[in-house]
C-alpha cells in the first residue's frame, strides 16, 4: 500500500460476519484493486448499530463516513459513487459515523474505542488512550488502586451490582491458603443472557481494554494469574482475544515484567462448557477447575476461597472493561455519570422485537421508554410493544405501566425487576405471556445445574403446572400451587438461577393475568 | 477441649477444631461452639434438630437439599444452616411458619419424584427421606405423580453386596461426596444436569465395571434405599447392634454388627471407632459371610494318621486324644519335642493363653506366631533403635504430616481405610514419596500424585535407605539439636562415620537399587526438609534377608532428621493382620514373655512363675522355621497350631508339607479345614471373631474390644478350648471370662498395667503403653524420652541377598496382596469377594512378556530353586522389567511353592519379596499342583465322609 491509500473499515465482529462481512471484505478488496483504487482495509469491531451492519466506514479528512448496511451487491455502486472520497450520494450513505444520532446521543466511556480501532492493533489502542490507566496504576500502591475503584462507584456489571472496589478489597486483604500464595483474577465472559452482547462486543472490538482492566485488577489485589472464562459460542472473540494476548505479552503489557515494572501478570483464555449456569460465578470456578459446572454454596465467598481455593476476583467483562477509564480519567470522572447509587454508565443492549437493535451506553437514569422509543424506534413488527424483559431470562416482564421507571439498580429492584447485565428484550402485542412464563421454567429445566432441589425439580414441575393452567385444568388450585412453587424456588434455591426463574413467571401472572385466563372457543381471550 | 459426641447421632457437618469459641442464640438458646462450626451442627449439639437431607457429619457441607433452611435476624432470606458458619451474637430461628412452609414445599417436590412404596421398601424404618417427610408434616403432593419422573429407572444389581436403585434417588450427592471425601476413589459422579441429574458410577457404567472399590461409604451415606445392602433387602431391618472390631487387616476398624437375633444382617463402620472414624473397606464392610459358610467345621475331629478318615467326636474325646498324644510324644522324645503356634487372627486373650499353655503346660518355649513371617524384623529393629517393638504414631497422626514416605507397602489394597486417610491428607497438599518396585495405586490416583516414585530393585532396600541417610548427613540436613538431646552419642558418631563413607553415596548405590542418584538426592532432601515427615512401611521392608537392617535403617532416618516424638512424623509399620501387634505383645515369640520381656531375665521369669505357679524354661525355644527343620530331623513331633495356615502362608511349601507330614501329632484349631489341617490328627473347631469376647491390638498399638454377637457355632470360644487342653494336660486354667485373662496380662505386663475391660468400656480403646505414667494410654510414643533412654543409631551395612537373578532364574518374583482378598484367603474366598479376584495371576512387564512370547492370560510355569507352579499371565506396566509379581490368596496357585527358605538374618522372617525365577509358557499344571489337587481331593473326601457319618449318627440318635 502506498501512503495515498484510503482507510476503509469493514467490521469483523460476530454480527457483521453473520451478515456477510467476510465475503464483503474480500469482494471489496478485489473490486478496489480492479479499479486501481488504493485502499487499506481495517477490520474493526462493531459500533453496535446492528440494523446498519455491515457498516463500512471510510476515513476522510472530515472524519469517518459510514455506509450501511452494505452487501456485496452494493460495492460497485458505492465505489462508483465516490465512496472512497466520502461522497454521500449513495442511498446507503450515513454521513459522518459519529453524527449518527443513535451514536451521538450516547455517553461512551467503555465503548469509546469500539468500532473505531483495529481491535488487535496495539498502536491503535495506545493512540486512543490505551494503557494510560495501566501506567497510572503501576505508579500506585495496591490499596490506592482499590480505593480509586471504590471511589468510582463501579458496581458489578454481571447483574448482581456488588461494589467492585469492596470485592477487590476483600481479595487484597485475603491470605492465600496454600503455600504458593497465588491469587487469581477471573473474567466472567460466559455471556449467556438472552438479548445481551456487550461483553462480546468489548472482546471483539477492544480486547486490550479488557486485558488492561484485568492487569490493573491483578496489581490491585496481588494476583499474577488471570483467566478469561469465555463462552465457547464466541469463536471470533476467542480468536481476537488470543491474538491480542499474544501481542500484549510480546510487547511487555503482560507477562513477567509488565512495562518494566517488575510486576507480573499472566493471562489465559479458557473456553466455557456451553452451559448457562457456568455464568454463575461459583459454577464458573468449578468449570474453570475442570469440574462439572455445579454451583458452590457461599460462604466461602470466591473472594476468599475462589479458584483452586485461593482468593479470587471474579468480575464480569464490563466491570473489568470500565477499569482503564477509571484509572486513566480518574474515579470522579466515572462517578460523575449516573444517579443515586448507580454510578457510571451501563451499556444497554436493545434486542427482541425492535426496529433499531444495538448497543446503547448511557449513564444510569434514563427510562426504559426512552430506550425503546427514542433509540429503538418501536417494534420491528410495527405493532405496539406489550412487554419488555430486562436483565436476561431471569428478569421480570415489565408491562407498559412500568416503562417510565428510571434505569437504575435500586429503582428496578423496588418494583421487583432487575437491570442485570443490561439486556433489554422487547415483545409486541402478539406475545402470549403464559407461553413466556412457561418458557422461563423451561429455560430453567434446560439450564439448572441440578444441585439444589427447588431448582432441579421445581423447574420441571413449574412447566407442568403452567401447562395445566394453560389447559384450564384445576386452574385456581394450580395458580395457587404455581405461586407456592415460585416462593419455594425464590426462598429455597442455592443461586440466582433457581432463585430468579420465578421473576418472569410471577410478573407474567401479575401484569398479564388475561393471558392465563381460559381460552374461548374461537381462540380469543 | 475434649467433647464427647453421640456416635449414633448425625450432627450434619463435621466438627471444627478451633480454640476460638463462638456463642450464638438458636431458638433463644445460647449455644457455644468452635469457630467455623455450621449453624446446623451448633443447633444439633444443643439438641435442636433442624431437618436435613444432604448433610452428614462425615462430609463437608454441600447445601443442595435446602431443607435445613433457617432464618437469621438481620439477614435476608432463608439460608441453609449447613453452609452458614456461626457468628458471635447471631440469632437463629429454626422453626417459623415461613420455614415450615418452605420445608414442606421442598419435600413436596422431592416426593413428586419418588415411589410411594414405603411399606415394601427395604429402608422402611431406616429412611431419612421418610423421617424428614414426617418431620416437615407433608400431607399431600399437589403436583400429582403423572409428571416427569425417574420411577422407571433401572436397578443396577451388579455389585454382589449392594444394589443401586436410581428410582429412589434424591440426588443429594452424599454417595458421590463420600466416594470423594471419605474414600478418595472418585468412582461416582453426577451425570446430566438439572432434572436429568443422576448418580453415575464411572461413565454410566454398572457399579461392578466402574472404579468402585466397594468400600461401602456410599451405601452408608445414602439417606434412602437407593444404595442398599442386599442382605438388608433380603432380611429386613436389624433389631439390635453390637460394636466390635474387624478381624481383617491391622487397621482394626470398629464396626457395628447390625443383628437380627444371632444373625448378622450387616456390618456398619462405627463412627466412634478411633482407628476408622466410620470408614471401612470391602472386606470388613461386606465380607463377613464366611462366618456362617457351610464349610465351617463345628464338630471336633480326630484321626490316627492323615490318610485315615476323620472321626467326629465330642469335645472331651478330642481334647483327651490330643493331650494324651502330646504327653506321649514328650514322654518318648523329651520336653522340647512339642510346641505351638499362636494366631494373629485370634484375640489377645487367646494368644496369651496359647503361649501360656506352651510355656506352662508343655514346659518349654517352643512358641512362635505368624509375625515370624511378616513383622518380626519390625519388633527387632524398632526395639534395638527406639526401644519399643511398635509403631510410634496413631493413624490420625498422618493428618499432621507434610510429607509421607511409603516404603514397601500398598495401603490402598492392604490397609484400605488407612489408605483413604492418607489420600485425604495428600489431597490437602502433603507430599508423597513412594518406594516400591511396582507402580502401586498411590503413585498416581485421582487427585493424588507422588513427588517421587523410587522404583528400587527387589532386595536393595538397605542400599537405598543408606543412600538416603548418606545424603542427609553429607548435605548437612540432620537435626543436630534432636540428635544431641535424644540420641546416644557414641552410637551416633559410629553411625555417622559409617554412613558418610562414599560407598553409600547415591551415585554408588544407583547400580544396586536402580534409583537414579539425582532423584534419590531430591527425595532425601524432601524428606529431611519437609517439616513433619512420616514413614509408613509394610512387608516390602521386613520380608527380606536384611529385613531387620532395613527397619533399623528407617529408624536411623527418622532419628537423624528429628522425625520422632510428635504428631505428623514417626516410623509406622503397617501391620498385616488384625492382631499381629497383639500376638507379638502377648509373648508369642520363643524368647519373649508378654510385653517383650526376655525369658532369660530371671526377675521377669520369677514374676511369671509366681503368678502361673510353674517353673519356666529360661532358654528361648524354637522359631517356626526351626520347628520345621526339627520336625524333619525327628526331634520335633507335636504341634498345636491355632488359627494359622502355615501350609499355605509359609515359604517353600514342599519343605513345610514334608515337615507337617513328619509330625506325630498335629492339632489344628481353625474355623475351616485349611491347608494345614489336611495334615492334622486333631481338628478343634475354632470360633470366628463374631463368636467371642476379647481384644485385638491394631498397628497403632490400639487395644480394641471384640464383642460376641452370636454364640460359637461349635459351642466354644477359642480361649475355652485352649483352657480345656491345658487342663487335660494337667496344667489348670480356670477363667470365667476373657476379662479375667486381660487382668492377668495387665498384672504381668508393665506396658499394660492400666488396661482392663472396664477402662476399655470407658475410653473406647486404649493405645499401649497404658500404665501409671500414661493412664489413658499413649497415642504418640517417645515424646520426651525413649524406653531405652536415648535412641540408638544402628549400623546397617548393605549385604546383597543370595537370591539374585541368574541365567537360569533371570527374573525376580515379589509377592503381595490385593484389596478384595485377605492373606491366605480362607475367609474372603468364602465370600462374594471372589468376583474381583478368583485366582492368583503372575503380573509381568510387557517387555518380559514379549521376550517370552507371552500373551495376556497364557499359562506360565514359574520356577525357582525351591519349586515350580503354574499361573496365568497378566501383562502390566505397573511392573518394572525383570520383576514379576503375584499374590498368595489361593492355595492351588502355589505362590509359596516357589518362594525359598531364605530369611532375615536376625529374625528368620522369610524373604518372600525376592525369589529368582524363570517364567515359561506351559500347557499343564505343575507337578506340585497335580500333587496338591490329589491330596486336596483325598482330604476333602475324608472330611465329607466324617461329616456324613456324623450326620448319620445324629439322626440315628434322634430316632
Give residue B952's pLDDT.
Answer: 81
Which grid coordinates belong to B714? 461349635
**Alpha-carbon distance A43 to nearest alpha carbon in chain B (angstroms):** 40
Which grid coordinates belong to A364? 444510569
Contacts with A277 from chain B: Cβ below 8 Å: 193
Give residue B194's pLDDT.
Answer: 95
Closest CA to A174 of A280, A315, A306, A265: A306
B112 touches chain A (CB under 8 A): yes
* C-alpha span between B906 and B550 (Å, rounded): 11
By Cβ distance, the residue of B83, B105, B194 closest to A297 is B83
Strands B254-260 and B263-269: antiparallel
Q: Do A450 and B194 lie within an 8 Å CB cutoff?
A: yes
Q: A residues 238-277 near B, CB within 8 Å?
A: 275, 277
Contacts with A456 from chain B: Cβ below 8 Å: 171, 194-195, 197
Task: Work out the average pLDDT over A211-227.
Answer: 98
pLDDT tens across A319-328, in order? Answer: 999 999 999 9
B371 touches chain A (CB under 8 A): no
Query: Which chain A residue's Cα is nearest to B38?
Result: A299
Which residues have CB under 8 Å from B515's CB, separation 6+? B454, B455, B456, B464, B467, B506, B509
Q: Do B109 and A453 lie within an 8 Å CB cutoff?
A: yes
* C-alpha span between B367 and B584 (Å, rounded): 11
* C-alpha span between A173 and A38 (Å, rounded): 57
* C-alpha span between B824 and B847 (Å, rounded): 30
CATH 3.40.50.740 for domain B301-373+580-750, yes or no, is: yes
Closest CA to A146 of A160, A167, A132, A131: A167
What is the ipTM for the molecules in this complex?
0.94
Q: Is A463 helix (H, G, I), strand (E, B) or coil?
A: helix
Q: Indicate the CATH number of B376-573 among 2.40.70.10, 3.30.530.20, 3.40.228.10, 1.10.3720.10.
A: 3.40.228.10
Query: Which chain B residue's Cα is nearest to A464?
Result: B147
Query: Which chain B residue's Cα is nearest to A493?
Result: B66
Give residue A181's pLDDT.
Answer: 82
Q: Is B561 helix (H, G, I), strand (E, B) or coil?
A: coil
> A255 pairs with which residues across the strands?
A265
CB B570 within 8 A of CB B393: yes
pLDDT tens across B374-406, in order? Answer: 899 999 999 999 999 899 999 999 999 999 999
Which grid coordinates belong to A133? 490507566
> Is the torsion defined by CA of B245, B247, B252, B258 positive or negative?
negative
Q: Return the half-sphere exposure (C-beta side, CA atoms, 13 A cut-off) of residue A404.
A: 1
Strands (E), A301-430: 312-316, 338-339, 342-343, 345-352, 358-363, 385-390, 397-399, 423-428
Query: Which chain B residue's Cα is nearest to A180?
Result: B429
Residue-by-residue DSSP string for B390-428:
S-SS-GGGGGG-SEEEEES--HHHHSHHHHHHHHHHHHT
Q: How many helices (H) and strands (E) does chain B have?
A: 30, 36
Q: State the helix-helix crossing angle for B517-529 and B506-513, rounded to 10 degrees.
A: 110
**Gyration radius of chain B over CA positions:** 29
Give residue A152's pLDDT.
Answer: 97
Query: Which chain B residue's Cα is nearest to A454?
Result: B106
B530 touches chain A (CB under 8 A): no
Q: B residues 397-426 near A, CB within 8 Å?
A: none
CB B840 within 8 A of CB B437: no
Fold matches, A6-104 and A122-334: no
Write down the domain spans for chain A: 6-104, 122-334, 337-428, 433-516
CB A288 within 8 A of CB A152: no
The length of chain B is: 959
Give residue B364's pLDDT.
Answer: 97
**Alpha-carbon distance A489 to nearest alpha carbon in chain B (angstroms):** 9
**Alpha-carbon distance A426 to nearest alpha carbon in chain B (angstroms):** 28
B102 touches chain A (CB under 8 A): yes
By Cβ distance, the residue of B66, B83, B143 closest to A453 is B66
Q: Quick one: DSSP state of residue A66? A: E
B298 touches chain A (CB under 8 A): no
In chain B, which stretches have pLDDT less than 50? 1-2
* C-alpha span between B73 and B795 (Å, rounded): 68
Query: Which chain A residue's Cα is nearest to B145?
Result: A461
By Cβ distance, the residue of B80, B147, B197 closest to A456 is B197
The length of chain A is: 525
pLDDT tens across B406-428, in order? Answer: 999 999 999 999 999 999 999 99
Q: Do B194 and A444 lie within an 8 Å CB cutoff?
A: yes
> Is the torsion defined by CA of B121, B123, B128, B132 positive or negative?
positive
Chain position carrying cell 483467566 = A227
Instruction: Give whole-number Cα distances, B213 to B217, B222, B251, in Å.
Output: 10, 17, 17
Give domain A433-516's CATH architecture: Up-down Bundle (1.20)
CATH 3.10.20.600 for domain A337-428, yes or no, is: yes
pLDDT tens across B148-189, in order? Answer: 999 999 999 999 999 999 999 999 999 999 999 999 999 999
Give residue A2's pLDDT.
Answer: 46
**Alpha-carbon distance B683 to nearest alpha carbon in chain A (angstroms):** 58
A481 touches chain B (CB under 8 A): yes
pLDDT tens across A138-170, in order? Answer: 999 999 999 999 999 999 999 889 999 999 999
- Residue B204 burial by Cβ neighbours in a 10 Å radius (0-12, 13-18, 19+): exposed
Q: Which residues of A442-472 are buried (b: 16+ CB within 10 A; e: fewer)?
A: bbbbebbbbbbbbbbbbbbbbbbbbebbbee
Q: Indicate the CATH number of A122-334 among 3.40.50.11540, 3.40.50.460, 3.40.50.2300, 3.90.1150.10.
A: 3.40.50.11540
Q: Do A450 and B171 lie within an 8 Å CB cutoff?
A: yes
CATH class (in words) of the domain with range B21-136: alpha beta
By Cβ distance, the residue of A292, A449, A457 closest to B110 is A457
Contacts with B145 from chain A: Cβ below 8 Å: none
By Cβ distance, the residue of A448, A453, A460 closest to B65 is A453
What are all long-range contacts of B879-882, with beta carbons under 8 Å and residues at least 24 apart? B879/B437, B879/B438, B879/B439, B879/B843, B879/B844, B879/B845, B879/B848, B880/B437, B880/B438, B880/B455, B880/B457, B880/B514, B880/B845, B881/B845, B881/B847, B881/B848, B882/B457, B882/B805, B882/B810, B882/B811, B882/B812, B882/B845, B882/B848
Q: Do A494 and B142 lie within an 8 Å CB cutoff?
A: no
A465 touches chain B (CB under 8 A): yes
CB B815 within 8 A of CB B843: no
CATH 2.40.40.20 for domain B811-923, yes or no, is: yes
Q: Return the half-sphere exposure (C-beta side, CA atoms, 13 A cut-off) of residue A330.
A: 3
B147 touches chain A (CB under 8 A): yes
By Cβ distance, the residue of A299, A448, A457 closest to B112 is A457
Contacts with B85 from chain A: Cβ below 8 Å: 299
Which grid coordinates belong to A452? 439444589
Chain position carrying cell 549400623 = B795
Q: Do A461 and B147 lie within an 8 Å CB cutoff?
A: yes
Give residue A520's pLDDT.
Answer: 63
pTM: 0.94
CB B646 within 8 A of CB B656: yes
- Mutation target to probe the B interface, by most B beta carbons within 10 A, among A469, A478, A491 is A491
Write down the domain spans for chain B: 21-136, 301-373+580-750, 376-573, 811-923, 929-959
A164 touches chain B (CB under 8 A): no
| Torsion of Cα atoms, B38 then B41 then B42 then B44, to 10° | 160
By Cβ distance, the residue of B62, B77, B194 closest to A491 is B77
Q: Indicate the CATH number of A6-104 among 3.30.360.10, 3.40.50.740, 3.30.1490.20, 3.40.30.10.
A: 3.40.30.10
Q: Do B109 and A458 lie within an 8 Å CB cutoff?
A: yes
Amino acid at each position: 500500500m502506498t501512503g495515498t491509500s484510503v482507510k476503509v473499515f469493514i467490521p469483523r465482529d460476530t454480527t457483521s460476519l453473520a451478515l456477510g462481512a467476510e465475503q464483503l471484505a474480500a469482494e471489496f478488496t478485489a473490486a478496489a484493486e480492479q479499479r486501481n483504487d488504493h485502499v487499506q482495509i481495517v477490520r474493526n469491531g462493531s459500533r453496535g448499530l446492528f440494523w446498519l451492519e455491515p457498516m463500512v466506514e471510510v476515513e476522510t479528512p472530515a472524519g469517518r463516513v459510514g455506509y450501511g448496511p452494505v452487501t456485496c451487491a452494493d460495492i460497485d455502486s458505492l465505489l462508483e459513487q465516490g465512496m472512497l472520497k466520502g461522497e454521500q450520494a449513495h442511498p446507503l450513505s450515513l454521513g459522518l459515523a459519529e453524527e449518527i444520532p443513535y451514536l451521538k446521543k450516547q455517553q461512551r466511556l467503555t465503548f469509546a474505542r469500539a468500532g473505531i480501532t483495529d481491535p488487535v492493533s496495539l498502536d491503535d489502542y495506545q493512540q486512543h488512550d490505551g494503557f494510560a490507566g495501566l501506567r497510572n496504576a503501576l505508579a500506585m500502591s495496591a490499596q490506592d488502586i482499590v480505593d480509586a475503584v471504590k471511589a468510582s462507584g463501579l458496581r458489578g456489571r454481571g447483574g448482581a451490582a456488588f461494589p467492585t472496589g469492596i470485592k477487590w478489597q476483600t481479595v487484597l486483604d485475603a491470605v492465600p491458603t496454600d503455600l504458593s500464595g497465588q491469587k487469581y483474577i477471573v473474567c466472567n465472559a460466559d455471556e449467556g443472557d438472552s438479548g445481551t452482547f456487550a461483553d462480546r462486543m468489548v472482546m471483539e472490538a477492544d480486547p486490550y481494554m479488557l486485558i488492561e482492566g484485568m492487569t490493573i485488577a491483578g496489581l490491585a489485589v496481588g494476583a499474577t494469574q488471570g483467566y478469561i472464562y469465555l463462552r465457547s459460542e464466541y469463536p471470533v472473540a476467542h480468536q481476537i482475544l488470543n491474538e491480542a494476548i499474544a501481542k500484549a505479552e510480546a510487547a511487555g503489557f503482560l507477562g513477567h515484567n509488565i512495562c518494566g515494572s517488575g510486576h507480573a501478570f499472566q493471562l489465559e483464555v479458557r473456553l466455557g462448557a456451553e452451559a448457562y449456569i457456568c455464568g454463575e460465578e461459583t459454577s464458573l470456578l468449578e468449570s474453570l477447575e475442570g469440574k462439572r459446572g455445579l454451583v458452590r454454596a457461599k460462604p466461602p465467598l470466591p473472594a476468599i476461597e475462589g479458584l483452586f481455593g485461593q482468593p479470587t476476583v471474579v468480575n464480569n467483562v464490563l466491570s473489568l472493561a470500565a477499569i482503564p477509564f477509571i484509572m486513566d480519567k480518574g474515579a470522579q470522572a466515572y462517578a460523575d455519570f449516573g444517579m443515586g447509587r448507580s454510578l457510571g454508565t451501563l451499556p444497554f443492549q436493545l434486542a427482541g422485537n425492535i426496529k433499531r437493535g444495538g448497543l446503547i451506553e448511557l449513564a444510569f437514569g434514563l427510562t426504559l421508554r426512552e430506550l425503546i422509543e427514542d433509540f429503538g424506534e418501536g417494534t420491528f413488527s410495527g405493532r405496539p410493544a406489550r412487554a419488555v424483559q430486562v436483565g436476561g431470562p431471569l428478569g421480570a416482564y415489565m408491562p407498559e405501566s412500568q416503562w417510565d421507571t428510571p434505569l437504575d439498580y435500586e429503582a428496578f429492584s423496588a418494583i421487583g425487576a432487575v437491570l442485570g447485565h443490561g439486556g433489554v428484550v422487547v415483545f409486541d402485542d402478539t406475545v402470549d405471556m403464559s407461553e413466556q412464563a412457561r418458557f422461563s421454567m423451561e429455560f430453567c429445566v434446560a439450564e439448572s445445574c441440578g444441585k439444589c432441589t427447588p431448582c432441579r425439580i421445581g423447574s420441571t414441575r413449574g412447566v407442568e403446572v403452567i401447562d395445566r393452567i394453560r389447559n384450564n385444568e384445576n386452574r385456581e388450585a394450580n395458580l395457587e400451587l404455581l405461586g407456592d412453587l415460585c416462593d419455594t424456588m425464590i426462598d429455597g434455591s442455592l443461586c440466582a438461577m433457581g432463585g430468579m426463574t420465578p421473576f418472569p413467571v410471577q410478573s407474567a401472572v401479575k401484569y398479564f393475568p388475561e393471558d392465563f385466563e381460559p381460552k374461548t372457543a374461537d381462540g380469543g381471550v | 477441649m475434649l467433647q464427647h459426641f453421640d456416635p449414633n447421632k448425625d450432627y450434619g457437618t463435621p466438627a471444627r477444631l478451633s480454640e476460638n469459641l463462638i456463642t450464638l442464640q438458636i431458638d433463644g438458646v445460647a449455644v457455644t461452639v468452635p469457630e467455623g462450626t455450621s449453624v446446623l451442627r451448633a443447633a444439633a449439639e444443643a439438641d435442636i434438630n433442624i431437618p436435613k437431607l444432604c448433610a452428614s457429619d462425615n462430609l463437608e457441607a454441600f447445601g443442595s437439599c435446602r431443607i435445613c433452611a433457617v432464618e437469621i435476624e438481620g439477614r435476608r432470606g432463608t439460608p441453609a444452616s449447613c453452609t452458614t458458619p456461626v457468628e458471635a451474637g447471631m440469632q437463629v430461628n429454626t422453626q417459623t411458619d415461613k420455614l415450615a412452609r418452605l420445608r414442606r414445599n421442598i419435600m413436596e417436590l422431592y416426593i413428586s419424584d419418588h415411589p410411594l412404596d414405603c411399606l415394601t421398601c427395604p429402608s422402611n424404618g431406616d429412611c431419612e427421606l421418610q423421617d424428614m417427610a414426617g418431620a416437615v408434616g407433608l400431607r399431600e403432593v399437589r403436583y400429582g405423580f403423572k409428571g416427569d419422573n425417574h420411577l422407571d429407572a433401572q436397578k443396577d444389581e451388579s455389585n454382589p453386596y449392594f444394589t443401586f436403585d436410581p428410582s429412589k434417588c434424591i440426588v443429594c450427592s452424599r454417595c458421590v461426596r463420600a466416594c470423594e471425601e471419605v474414600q478418595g476413589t472418585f468412582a461416582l459422579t453426577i451425570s446430566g444436569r438439572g432434572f436429568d441429574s443422576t448418580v453415575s458410577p464411572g461413565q454410566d457404567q454398572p457399579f461392578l465395571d466402574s472404579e468402585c472399590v466397594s468400600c461401602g461409604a456410599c451405601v452408608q451415606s445414602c439417606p434412602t434405599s437407593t444404595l442398599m445392602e442386599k442382605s438388608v433387602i433380603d432380611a429386613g431391618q436389624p433389631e439390635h447392634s453390637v460394636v466390635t472390631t474387624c478381624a481383617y487387616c491391622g487397621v482394626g476398624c470398629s464396626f457395628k454388627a447390625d443383628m437380627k437375633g444371632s444373625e448378622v444382617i450387616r456390618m456398619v463402620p462405627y463412627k466412634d471407632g478411633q482407628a476408622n472414624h466410620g470408614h471401612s473397606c470391602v472386606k470388613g464392610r461386606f465380607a463377613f459371610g464366611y462366618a456362617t459358610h457351610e464349610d465351617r467345621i463345628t464338630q471336633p475331629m480326630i484321626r490316627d494318621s492323615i490318610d485315615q478318615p476323620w472321626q467326629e467326636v465330642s469335645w472331651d474325646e478330642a481334647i483327651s486324644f490330643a493331650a494324651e498324644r502330646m504327653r506321649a510324644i514328650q514322654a518318648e522324645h523329651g520336653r522340647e519335642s512339642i510346641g505351638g503356634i499362636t494366631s494373629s487372627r485370634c484375640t489377645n486373650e487367646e494368644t496369651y493363653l496359647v503361649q501360656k499353655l506352651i510355656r506352662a503346660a508343655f514346659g518349654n518355649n517352643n512358641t512362635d506366631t505368624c509375625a515370624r513371617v511378616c513383622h518380626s524384623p519390625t519388633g527387632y529393629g524398632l526395639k534395638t533403635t527406639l526401644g519399643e517393638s511398635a509403631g510410634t504414631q496413631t493413624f490420625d497422626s498422618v493428618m499432621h504430616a507434610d510429607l509421607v514416605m511409603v516404603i514397601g507397602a500398598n495401603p490402598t489394597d492392604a490397609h484400605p481405610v488407612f489408605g483413604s486417610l492418607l489420600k485425604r491428607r495428600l489431597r490437602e497438599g502433603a507430599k508423597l514419596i513412594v518406594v516400591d518396585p511396582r507402580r502401586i495405586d498411590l503413585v498416581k490416583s485421582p487427585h493424588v500424585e507422588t513427588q517421587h516414585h523410587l522404583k528400587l530393585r527387589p532386595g536393595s532396600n538397605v542400599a537405598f535407605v543408606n543412600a538416603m541417610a548418606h545424603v542427609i548427613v553429607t548435605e548437612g540436613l540432620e537435626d543436630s539439636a534432636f540428635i544431641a538431646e535424644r540420641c546416644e552419642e557414641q552410637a551416633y558418631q559410629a553411625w555417622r562415620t559409617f554412613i558418610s563413607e562414599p560407598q553409600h553415596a547415591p551415585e554408588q548405590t544407583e547400580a544396586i537399587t536402580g534409583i537414579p542418584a539425582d532423584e534419590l538426592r531430591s527425595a532425601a532432601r524432601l524428606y529431611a526438609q519437609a517439616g513433619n515427615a512420616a514413614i509408613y512401611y509394610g512387608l516390602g521392608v521386613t520380608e527380606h534377608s536384611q529385613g531387620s537392617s532395613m527397619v533399623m535403617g528407617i529408624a536411623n532416618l527418622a532419628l537423624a532428621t528429628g522425625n520422632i516424638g510428635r504428631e505428623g512424623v514417626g516410623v509406622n509399620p503397617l501391620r498385616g493382620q488384625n492382631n499381629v501387634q497383639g500376638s507379638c505383645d502377648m509373648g508369642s515369640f520363643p524368647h519373649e514373655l508378654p510385653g517383650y520381656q526376655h525369658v532369660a531375665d530371671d526377675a521377669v521369669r520369677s514374676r511369671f512363675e509366681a503368678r502361673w505357679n510353674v517353673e519356666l524354661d529360661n532358654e528361648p525355644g524354637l522359631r517356626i522355621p526351626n520347628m520345621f527343620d526339627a520336625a524333619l530331623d525327628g526331634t520335633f513331633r507335636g504341634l498345636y497350631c491355632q488359627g494359622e495356615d502355615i501350609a499355605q502362608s509359609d515359604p517353600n511349601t514342599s519343605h513345610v508339607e514334608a515337615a507337617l507330614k513328619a509330625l506325630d501329632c498335629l492339632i489344628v484349631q481353625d474355623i475351616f479345614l485349611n491347608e494345614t489341617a489336611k495334615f492334622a490328627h486333631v481338628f478343634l473347631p475354632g470360633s470366628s471373631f463374631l463368636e467371642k469376647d476379647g481384644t485385638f491390638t491394631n498397628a497403632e498399638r490400639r487395644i480394641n474390644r471384640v464383642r460376641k454377637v452370636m454364640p460359637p457355632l461349635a459351642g466354644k470360644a477359642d480361649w475355652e478350648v485352649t483352657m480345656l487342653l491345658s487342663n487335660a494336660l494337667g496344667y489348670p486354667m480356670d477363667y470365667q471370662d476373657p476379662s479375667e485373662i486381660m487382668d492377668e496380662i495387665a498384672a504381668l505386663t508393665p506396658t499394660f498395667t492400666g488396661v482392663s475391660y472396664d477402662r476399655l468400656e470407658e475410653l473406647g480403646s486404649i493405645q499401649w503403653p497404658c500404665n501409671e505414667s500414661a493412664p489413658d494410654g499413649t497415642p504418640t510414643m517417645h515424646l520426651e524420652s525413649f524406653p531405652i533412654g536415648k535412641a540408638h543409631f544402628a549400623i546397617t551395612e548393605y549385604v546383597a541377598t543370595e537370591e539374585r537373578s541368574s541365567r537360569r532364574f533371570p527374573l525376580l518374583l515379589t509377592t503381595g496382596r490385593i484389596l478384595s482378598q485377605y492373606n491366605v484367603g480362607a475367609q474372603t474366598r468364602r465370600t462374594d469377594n471372589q468376583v474381583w479376584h478368583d485366582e492368583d495371576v503372575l503380573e509381568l512387564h510387557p517387555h518380559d512378556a514379549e521376550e517370552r512370547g507371552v500373551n495376556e492370560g497364557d499359562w506360565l510355569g514359574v520356577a525357582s530353586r525351591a519349586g515350580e507352579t503354574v499361573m496365568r499371565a497378566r501383562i502390566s506396566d505397573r511392573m518394572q522389567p525383570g520383576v514379576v509379581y503375584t499374590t498368595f490368596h489361593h492355595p492351588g496357585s502355589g505362590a509359596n511353592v516357589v518362594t525359598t527358605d531364605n530369611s532375615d538374618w536376625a529374625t528368620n522372617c522369610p524373604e518372600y519379596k525376592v525369589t529368582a525365577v524363570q517364567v515359561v509358557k506351559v500347557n499343564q499344571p505343575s507337578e506340585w499342583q497335580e500333587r496338591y489337587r490329589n491330596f486336596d481331593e483325598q482330604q476333602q473326601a475324608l472330611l465329607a465322609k466324617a461329616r456324613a457319618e456324623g450326620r448319620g449318627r445324629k439322626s440315628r440318635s434322634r430316632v
